A and B are shown apart, each in its own frame.
Chain A
């Protein structure tokens, strides 16, 4: 359960930092008056932040389970198909393109915005298609979901990640449709920024998952263990 505990520690750190700025030590009965206000971040961004914490929790728990299950004797690591790296490139590309979209929406450049959003969405779709092809390749070469727990985890976790990308594509369709209909960039700005943040987050999750699947993570854990003992 160490992965999730480290993740929660990070969240606890952020929460403590935030709480400490909220006057938790003040004596509220002594202060009468309107008082000062608050954050300036738009509400949807805070909402997305909280949601990403939940998603992060989900993947941290999956990783925790992965490490726990790995300790048992029947674990046989699975080779990653080459295609995975192409998919990773697609995901990175999507992230970059959405960041371009953010820049475009900020500067009010409609054409670039449309292009960046559309190609970002295509990159997302390409990633998903690539993932499905990678699954098919693996099953064709005998790495079935039930054959070994390592395989089961691979399908489960990539599946969960894919579903989140799919959800992201649904969310992305809104600013995309807006840009296509010619909505003013200022009105699209928030939703484009939200999509970009979400994409970067899922890219980060994917990077962490790759570390897990390639076995670098377990090597790292071994090194840490040796250092401790």
Chain B
């Protein structure tokens, strides 16, 4: 008896909690509102199924609870009913999967005009590298990482000389321009996660992963590491600023390129170190 009421209360409570809870996703700041839409569709479909199943159960418990002299029905199976339920489920599942796959294909198709930005992770800080005038990032390798060359940029690659290096500082990105985030780690797994952008991807040492997005609103956004990376994981934070074009250019002018950063130290070296 009590259980039937509690089951109804669980459904009612869950629905009310969903509607009135102050805890909801952060206002979006990227083009991935499609992801939010797919999520909303999923919420509606699953919420309806949850309510239906639990309320049906509550009704059964109330209506068919044990009373003296009552015997249960004998019904081993009902193939048509089971078949219909299977089909209905398949339709519901397809209704969630189809938009999901459609949006995924967009998610993994980077537009040609996207600018590349490298995110560089190490325990436990974020650095960044932006292509210079030539619009290309130079090659890089973990083996080249040293105190003088913290991002391991290949000094012999001419494309890398004008790369803008932002070491352990905030990243700025221009508004409304698609960016392809190239993700690189030199020690353990990390994950570049800005809740407002919705997108995220693991960073795996030894390979370069990526995702793309278009910032749609200016402001300051927090970067968190979303893949366990050791004791400092919870403190691996950073800032991404989405700027208007003017602000962005102003910021970019203040940054140093790889050539500028490595020039002073190379003065004292007669030969490049030979291992």
Contacts and interface: CB of A to CB of B under 8 A. Distances in A.
A–B touch (CB < 8 A): the answer is yes
Contacts of B76: 27, 29
Interface string B55-78: 000000000000000000000110
Interface string A121-133: 0000000000000
3 contacts: A27-B76, A27-B77, A29-B76
Interface in A12-42: 27, 29
Interface of A: 27, 29
Contacts of A27: 76-77
A96 B77 CA distance: 55
What DSSP secondary structure best describes chain B's contact surface?
loop
A27 B75 CA distance: 12
A29 B77 CA distance: 10
A29 B76 CA distance: 7
Contacts of A29: 76
B132 to A, nearest CB: 28
A214 to B, nearest CB: 28
A29 B74 CA distance: 11
Nearest to A73: B206
B230 to A, nearest CB: 24
A27 B76 CA distance: 9
Nearest to B206: A72
A154 B256 CA distance: 48
Interface string B183-212: 000000000000000000000000000000
Contacts of B77: 27
A24 to B, nearest CB: 14
Interface in B67-109: 76-77
Nearest to A28: B76
A157 B16 CA distance: 57
Instruction: Give the top 3 A-B pairs by smallest Cβ distance, nearest first.
Output: A29-B76, A27-B76, A27-B77
B140 to A, nearest CB: 16
Nearest to A30: B76
Nearest to A72: B206
A227 B165 CA distance: 46
A27 B78 CA distance: 12
A27 to B, nearest CB: 7
B66 to A, nearest CB: 23
B142 to A, nearest CB: 13
A43 B76 CA distance: 34
A27 B77 CA distance: 10
A119 to B, nearest CB: 50
B205 to A, nearest CB: 13
Nearest to B76: A29
B51 to A, nearest CB: 33
